[in-house]
Amino acid sequence: MLNDQDIIDIRKDFPILDTKIEGRPLIYLDNAATSQTPDAVVDTISYMYRNLKANVHRGVHTLSQLATDKQEEAREKVRRYINADSTGEIIFTRGTTEAINLVASSFGGTLTHGDEIIITAMEHHANIVPWQLLQRNKRIRLRIVPLNERGEIVTEDYEDLFTENTRFVAISHVSNVLGSINPVKKMIEIAHSHGVPVLVDGAQAVSCMKVDMKELDADFYAFSAHKMYGPTGVGVLYGKKKFLEMMPPYQGGGEMIGTVTFEKTTFAGLPYKFEAGTPDFVGIAAFGTAIDYIQDIGIDNIAAHEDRLLKAATEKLQQIPGMRIFGTSENKSAVISFLVNGINSYDMGTILDKLGVAVRTGHHCAEPLMHRLGIEGTVRASFGVYNTMEEVEQFVAAVERTAKMFS
């Protein structure tokens, strides 16, 4: 359990939190978009550029070998973090979006006209558009799992969508808008009972809850470093070996080959078959440091702290006249999406910024969900390990003050 002194000490690792906005202390509540980065991660980036900048896997010289070691150490840290069977199942990408596109492009090539893919009504665009692009080329069909009024998936409704043509399921672990934590383990069990593989978009889950591939039994799991107190431009695709081995490469180039002639190319083994070109080995090494940082604090401690902030903020916000909160699932991450008295989300966000509060506004790359809710967008506040109860109170006071400006 993290106490007040623990949070004070953690905040010292994030100098950006000392920033002033319009002369006011920054209250950073946009963690669902990207979390801030502790000094230890920045130090790793600096160390790599100053001491170990050399292409990985390609050189016999010492710098190349040392840089390679740092990248592969990070791969092992990721493997342990999500409890995967082997590092061969851990593919580095530029982020969750690229990881999902990799699966849509490569595994999607096995699909044919009339095949069906199940997604949910709460998906981020990154887990909609790649399947629509595939739909254009393959003439497959997307089937959409509806939500109840609390913003939850009802597993019976989900199971009703399976037909003899269902070939794939792609679902978010946690909604980036509603905060709803989906029953993905049960959903995977249902899909597997129909012989259907499942991809889970875990971008909003990995920084605030324990994720175990052996327990979930997901076939693919995608996430990003920048939502885990790590660098931007680095992501992970976990895939079961049996699927990755049968899938063709997503991109071609250096690093991912076995042999190349003008007549034929053979490909490297896992995971390198899917890692064409020079990787961001600096960012990957820094991602390893971010994982160390999370584990030093304890993922359960982070989850408990963020949940306390969520509950306090929700209770206080509900006391503001005209407040409407979207996503009221009991099983929820530290995300609150709201509107007050029909005030445009952009207007609310702009004024909150002048008061030092950084929130997200708009459709949050989930336009179909906004259509389902009958709105154009929301104000979204999302909490991280370094946020405090005092910041919650200041945030709520800022929302209340802004609402009164429009009354």
Predicted local distance difference test score (pLDDT) of residue 235: 98
Question: Does residue 35 sit within a domain?
Answer: no
Sign of CA dihedral 292, 170, 108, 372: negative
243, 265, 295 - which closes a domain = 295
Q: Which of 368, 378, 361 is nearest to 323 (CA)?
A: 378
Q: Could you read off the pLDDT of 149-192 as tens digits, one per residue?
A: 999 999 999 999 999 999 999 999 999 999 999 999 999 999 99
- Both 269 and 317 in one domain: the answer is no
- Both 166 and 271 in one domain: the answer is yes
- CATH, residue 151: 3.40.640.10
Structure letter (DSSP) for residue 248 = P
Structure letter (DSSP) for residue 220 = E
- Both 180 and 289 in one domain: the answer is yes
Q: Could you read off the pLDDT of 392-403 as tens digits, one per residue?
A: 999 999 999 999
Q: Which of 205, 248, 207, 212 is nearest to 229 (CA)?
A: 207
Cα Rg of the chain, angstroms: 22
Single out the catalytic residue among 365, 375, 389, 397: 365
Predicted local distance difference test score (pLDDT) of residue 137: 87
Going by pLDDT thresholds of 50, 70 and 90, the confidence category of residue 141 is very high
231, 262, 295 - which closes a domain = 295
- Both 287 and 349 in one domain: the answer is no
Predicted local distance difference test score (pLDDT) of residue 254: 87
Catalytic site includes residue 208:
no
- Both 113 and 247 in one domain: the answer is yes
Q: Which domain holds residue 61?
A: 42-295
pTM of the model: 0.97
Predicted local distance difference test score (pLDDT) of residue 175: 98
- pLDDT of 229 higher than 80: yes
How would you list the strands of the sheet with 235-239, edge to edge? 90-93, 235-239, 220-224, 198-201, 166-172, 116-120, 141-145
Question: Does residue 381 sit within a domain?
Answer: yes
- Both 130 and 239 in one domain: the answer is yes
Q: Could you read off the pLDDT of 85-109 as tens digits, one per residue?
A: 999 999 999 999 999 999 999 999 9
How many whole angstroms separate alpha carbon 206 and alpha carbon 358?
Answer: 22
Token pair for 6: 């623990």
CA distances for 222 relative to 18, 101, 202, 212, 218, angstroms: 32, 10, 5, 13, 10
Structural domain count, the chain: 2
Going by pLDDT thresholds of 50, 70 and 90, the confidence category of residue 60 is confident
Cβ–Cβ under 8 Å, residues 185 and 216: yes
**Which residues lie below 8 Å from residue 3, measured CB to CB, with a gap of 6+?**
none
251, 269, 295 - which closes a domain = 295
Mean pLDDT of 55-70: 92
Question: Does residue 36 sit within a domain?
Answer: no
- Both 277 and 337 in one domain: the answer is no
Question: Does residue 325 sit within a domain?
Answer: yes
Predicted local distance difference test score (pLDDT) of residue 255: 86
Cβ–Cβ under 8 Å, residues 73 and 288: yes
Amino acid at position 400, single letter: E
Question: Does residue 230 sit within a domain?
Answer: yes
- CATH, residue 26: 3.90.1150.10
CA distances for 259 relative to 262, 263, 265, 269, angstroms: 10, 11, 6, 12
- Both 256 and 324 in one domain: the answer is no
- pLDDT of 59 higher than 90: no
Greatest CA separation found in the chain?
72
- Both 98 and 165 in one domain: the answer is yes
Question: Does residue 9 sit within a domain?
Answer: yes
- Both 259 and 335 in one domain: the answer is no
Cβ–Cβ under 8 Å, residues 120 and 144: yes
Determine what percent of the chain is predicted with pLDDT higher than 70.
100
Q: Give the count of beta carbons closer than 10 Å to the beta carbon of residue 66.
A: 14
Q: Could you read off the pLDDT of 365-398 as tens digits, one per residue?
A: 999 999 999 999 999 999 999 999 999 999 999 9
**Which residues lie below 8 Å from residue 302, measured CB to CB, with a gap of 6+?**
2, 207, 208, 294, 385
- Both 235 and 373 in one domain: the answer is no
Question: Does residue 388 sit within a domain?
Answer: yes
Q: Could you read off the pLDDT of 318-336 as tens digits, one per residue?
A: 999 999 999 999 999 999 9
Cβ–Cβ under 8 Å, residues 305 and 91: no
Cβ–Cβ under 8 Å, residues 143 and 165: no
Amino acid at position 131, single letter: W
Question: Does residue 67 sit within a domain?
Answer: yes
Average pLDDT, the chain: 97
Q: Could you read off the pLDDT of 212-223 as tens digits, one per residue?
A: 999 999 999 999
- Both 103 and 245 in one domain: the answer is yes
Predicted local distance difference test score (pLDDT) of residue 397: 98
Angle between helices 281-297 and 299-317 (to 10 degrees): 80
